[in-house]
């Protein structure tokens, strides 16, 4: 026996109609991504600065002469 659930007026019966995330979770997720991108940019900037100064231990500068 199957039971039909009525979702009420104004809410369409759709399999992907899930409850939207609360706005605070969206802001929190956005803030987390912003921090991740900030750290990635900082790491790339420091690596680039180390290459410019020739202080990179991982990849020492090559001497052409």
pLDDT one digit per residue (tens) for the chain, 65 residues: 555 665 556 666 655 555 566 778 888 899 999 999 999 998 888 777 766 666 556 666 666 55
Domain assignment present for residue 58? The answer is no
Q: How many domains does the chain have?
A: 1
**What pLDDT does residue 44 have?**
86
41 token code pair? 């940019």
**What pLDDT does residue 7 have?**
56
Domain assignment present for residue 5? The answer is no
Q: Is 63 left (phi over 0), alpha (psi -120 to 50) or beta?
A: beta
Give the domain extent around 25. 20-52
Domain assignment present for residue 7? The answer is no
Helix-strand-coil percent breakdown of the chain, rounded to 5? Answer: 50, 0, 50
**What pLDDT does residue 26 have?**
82
pTM for this entry: 0.46
36 token code pair? 């991740």
């Amino acid at each position: 026996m199957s039971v039909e659930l009525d979702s009420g007026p104004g809410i369409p019966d759709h399999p992907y109609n899930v409850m939207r995330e609360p706005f605070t979770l969206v802001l929190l997720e956005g803030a987390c991504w912003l921090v991740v991108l900030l750290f990635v940019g900082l790491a790339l900037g420091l690596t680039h600065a180390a290459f410019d100064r020739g202080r990179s231990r991982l990849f020492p500068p090559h001497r052409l002469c």
